[in-house]
Structure 1
Amino acid sequence: MTTPSTAEQPWPVRTVSLKVQQWISRLGDVWVEGQLTQVNARPGTATAFLVLRDPAADISLTLTCSPRLLTGSPVPLTEGSRVVVHGSPTFFAGRGTFSLKVDAIRPVGIGELLARLERLRQLLDAEGLFDPRMKRPLPFLPRTVGLVTGRASAAERDVLSVAAQRWPAVRFAVRNTAVQGPTAVPQILTALAELDADPHVDVIVIARGGGSVEDLLPFSDETLCRAVARCTTPVVSAIGHEPDNPLLDHVADVRAATPTDAAKRVVPDAVAETAGVRELRARSRAALVAWVHREERGLAQLRSRPVLADPLRALDARADEVQRLRTTARRDVRRHLDTADTATAHLRARLRTLGPAATLARGYAVVQRVDGTGAHVLRSTADAPPGTTLRVRVADGAVHATTTLTTDPPPTPADGAQQQEDR
């Protein structure tokens, strides 16, 4: 049927199922990796049903295969096994279900898992997730400690008991999750997000009491490592597996060897802190007493000095010298003033003798020609023709005059002698 479906002409169920089956059959064969969470192979049946789950997400896929693939596997395939399967997507039109028809199952060995983890470790290290500069310091006294661990596990008991012994007032926000298997990573991610969003939680501890390499695979999951790196709250990794550290130990802000070690790192020891406070108080008291005694000795030495025993003796010794210096200074100042007064009087007399006022007082006058440009000293009769306005300055003032006649000056005795000689 190629006619598009409408409300008036809908497709029947068989048509939709057949079309979906046709589209899915075009996908071809695929290789898929995951973790087996359910294996159902009943004796006498021709088909075995399995559930393959993504280790980092809450997504699963139904598998169908021949029971011979399970019985002929070199490694027993059980729930929790990591496998790589090859098959083709299949849609059963009769039931409307989707599955992957598998024709090959390959268990993932320890060597291959370790090689993958090494490649992932190098990738995360190259991205800077292991950089010590990115590690956040733990608070000295956290208000609430977030704990992610298995329910009723030894790791939970160790962390809670040791922390309570060290600091009885400590509070915990416990999130019990699966710590191995296909559901571990999603549950740990959910608990980690809840604790990181809680403003009262100051530090988060992810604890497990050790295990095999396969059991600890969730703590090397890439999604979990990146989630821990994105946390704003400091994270402590306490997996308790020394030979092969999971990648979470490198990404976390602090790595603890065991859950007990994590409790010791997260909260301080009240007994040790109290002893430290007492020691510091004793040291402070001793330092203060020593300082007071040292200052008392210094004051006693200062009080015993002559300058403090008789403070005025030094002033009395200098009083005569100060008086003598004052007398000498006063005498020198007076001598300099008398010398300067005499020199000033001599200069005043010389200025009075050489000044124009003295000349005018002896009967002389200064004649100036007054015109539009100002007053000019008259130096020749030629500069004062008849009608010229003159200003005559004498000792006690000045008068103005106008020239009416210009005459030659009378001959001097020297001029008369020269005329007699000429005749």
Structure 2
Amino acid sequence: MSLSLTALASVVDRLPGPLVPGSHVVVHARPTFYAKRGTLSLQARVIRPVGVGELLARIDQLRRILAAEGVFDADRKRPLPFLPAKVGLICGREAKAMHDVLVNARERFPEVRFDVRQVAVQGVKAVAEVSAALAALDADPEIEVIVVTRGGGSVEDLLPFSNESLVRAVAAARTPIVSAIGHETDAPLLDLVADYRASTPTDAAKRVVPDVALERQQVAHAQRRLRLAIRGRVVAEQDRLDTLRSRPVLADPTVMVSAREDGLGQLARRLHLSLGTRLEREAAAVGGLAAHLRALSPAATLDRGYAVLRTTHGTVVRHPDEVAAGGALEAIVSGGRLPLHRTTDSCLLD
């Protein structure tokens, strides 16, 4: 027997994802009987997927909600420490994933310390136990990085690592978290919120601790390069010093002073000669000007017996009409001055 089933577009639009052939669903429908044709049909009111498809749809819906809140943003992820003092490890009880992390980490760095918390990693208790272990390790100040790991499994097995409360607990942790859940193809939400997603537990071990042998090789290589660089620099500087020391000025530093001293002596002698010649030339010129001045001076004329008449105002008399009768005069001779006064036609001494 078969029944026809119809569904409104609004009912289909409320589905969390598309339906594909083979999908399992639960349908809440209303039966309708057509008396004329004697047929019975169903009209769907609610369609809900079940099984793996439903789980994946719920996980995808939660992923979109958390992504919109910024829980998966790259700028909130913290860098892992280079060499953690102590590593926290959350894993299943006696799980192979725990063995992979411990063995590979200690092969790379034997001194690494672990605080291992073995908990349920699937089932109804998994979320509570993993969250409690995470809170305890996050509160330990010695723990610098936490690895959460388990082996592969089905979607149902890995479902606790997509639980909203666990994802938010990882986002709120102060310690960097490394997620190593399942195989590389598995993608629980814990991978998205963790600070680093490891593809396998072995990859997680390689990420949380450095390879001590490789680091020692790199240190030795750096030391060799440093020694070569220092040796080359010392040799180059020694060559420069040898070149400088071979110069005459450094072989005998007084050479520079002596050369300057000889030059200063020559300049001083030239200065003295030039100054003496200039003084003699200028002295001869001054002597010539003095002789010329003496030749033109009125004193020379007075020395020959001449006299100069001046009025009391100092005016030189050049004509008799310039002095009135009885006017006072003075005669300047070579030996001094003589006071005079003019009569009608002659001058008399006082």
Per-residue deviation, 1:213: 1.3
Match of 1:267 in 2: 209
Does 1:127 pair with 2:69?
yes
What code does the residue aligned with 1:172 have? Answer: F
Q: Deviations 1:378-419 (Å, cap 9, x if unpaired)?
A: xxxxxxxxxxxxxxxxxxxxxxxxxxxxxxxxxxxxxxxxxx
Match of 1:378 in 2: none
8 Å Cα contact 2:89-2:146 kept in structure 1? yes
Match of 1:238 in 2: 180
**SS state of the match for residue 147, structure 1?**
strand
What code does the residue aligned with 2:135 have? Answer: A
Cα–Cα, structure 1 residues 244 and 156, in superposed 2: closer, same or farther, change >3 Å?
A: closer
Cα–Cα, structure 1 residues 316 and 149, in superposed 2: closer, same or farther, change >3 Å?
A: same
8 Å Cα contact 1:240-1:256 kept in structure 2? no
Per-residue deviation, 1:325: 5.6
**SS state of the match for residue 115, structure 2?**
strand
Match of 1:257 in 2: 199
Q: Deviations 1:315-354 (Å, cap 9, x if unpaired)?
A: 212113334666859x79xx9xxxxxxxxxxxxxxxxxxx
Q: Normalising to structure 1: TM-score of the pair?
A: 0.52
User: Which of 110, 113, 127 is equivalent to 2:55?
Assistant: 113
Match of 2:330 in 1: none
What code does the residue aligned with 2:180 have? Answer: A
What code does the residue aligned with 2:206 have? Answer: K
Per-residue deviation, 1:160: 0.8
Provide the rounded CA distance (Å) in 1 between the counterparts of 2:267 and 2:190.
90
User: Which of 224, 234, 249 is equivalent to 1:292?
Assistant: 234
**Which range moves more in the overlay, 247-256 or 279-288?**
279-288
User: Which of 132, 147, 171 is equivalent to 1:229?
Assistant: 171
Provide the rounded CA distance (Å) in 2 between the counterparts of 1:307 and 1:127.
77
Provide the rounded CA distance (Å) in 1 between the counterparts of 2:69 and 2:266.
88
Map residues 13-412 of structure 1 onto 2, 5 A cutoff: 108-323=50-265, 328=271
Provide the rounded CA distance (Å) in 1 between the counterparts of 2:114 and 2:72.
27
**SS state of the match for residue 279, structure 1?**
helix
Provide the rounded CA distance (Å) in 2 between the counterparts of 1:306 and 1:247.
80
8 Å Cα contact 2:152-2:186 kept in structure 1? no
Provide the rounded CA distance (Å) in 1 between the counterparts of 2:148 and 2:68.
24
Provide the rounded CA distance (Å) in 1 between the counterparts of 2:189 and 2:260.
86
What code does the residue aligned with 1:239 have? Answer: I
**SS state of the match for residue 159, structure 1?**
helix
Q: Deviations 1:221-250 (Å, cap 9, x if unpaired)?
A: 111111101100010000132224111111
Provide the rounded CA distance (Å) in 2 between the counterparts of 1:325 and 1:203.
83
User: RMSD between aligned alpha carbons?
Assistant: 2.8
8 Å Cα contact 1:144-1:173 kept in structure 2? yes
What code does the residue aligned with 1:166 have? Answer: R
Match of 2:327 in 1: none
What code does the residue aligned with 1:314 have? Answer: M
8 Å Cα contact 1:148-1:174 kept in structure 2? yes
8 Å Cα contact 2:71-2:193 kept in structure 1? yes
Provide the rounded CA distance (Å) in 2 between the counterparts of 1:211 and 1:295.
66
Q: Normalising to structure 2: TM-score of the pair?
A: 0.62
> Identity of paired residues, percent?
58
Number of equivalent positions: 235
Q: Which segments of 5 or more consecutive residues in structure 1 lack a partner in the other structure?
A: 1-73, 76-82, 87-105, 336-423
